[in-house]
Amino acid sequence: MLEDASLRGSAVDWAQAAVEAYHRHGADRIVAEVNQGGDLVAEMLRQGAPLVPIPRAPATPGRGARGGPAAALYEQGRIRHLPGLQRLEEQMLLMASDGYKGKGSPDRVDALVWAVTAALLDPARKRPAPPRVRGLY
């Protein structure tokens, strides 16, 4: 894990932070979880980065089922963290097989699970093609 760019702020703030992280890390897409807020997430991201691929990930199955495969990769030692991820790691320590034991939402862990799923657990999913410009004749 390279970075936890989570923040508390307006939709404009978090969309801008996501796009900046996308560019900073040379990512190939931003995965948008769509449950509460539906298309708001993707639409806010599109305003700041209209050419960035933004696949939508429905928040199903439940959090425990989604996180299980990522947890297995941690147990196998296949995921490592760079320094500076203390807040994420604190949330991770409060996750249990029967749910989150902390206060509020495990938003950082949710983002981590989507990132791991997109990058490592879903290799059959075709990566989005980079945007291209064609001339019209």
Q: Euclidean distance between the first and final Cα of the chain, in Å?
A: 45
pLDDT digit string (tens) for the chain, length 137 residues? 999 999 999 989 999 999 999 999 999 899 888 776 567 888 899 998 899 998 888 776 677 778 888 999 999 999 999 999 999 999 999 998 788 899 998 989 989 998 898 888 776 555 556 666 666 66
The DSSP bridge pattern shows strands 32-34 and 99-100 to be unpaired
pTM over 0.95: no
Report the C-alpha gap between 55 and 127 in whole angstroms: 10
Q: Where are the domains of the chain?
A: 11-121
Report the C-alpha gap between 44 and 5 in whole angstroms: 16
Residue 89's contacts (CB-CB under 8 Å, 6 or more residues apart) are 81
Measured CA to CA in angstroms, residue 115 lies from 9, 43, 125, 134 at distances of 21, 19, 13, 31
Beta bridge partners of 56: 32
Q: Are 51 and 27 in contact (CB under 8 A)?
A: no
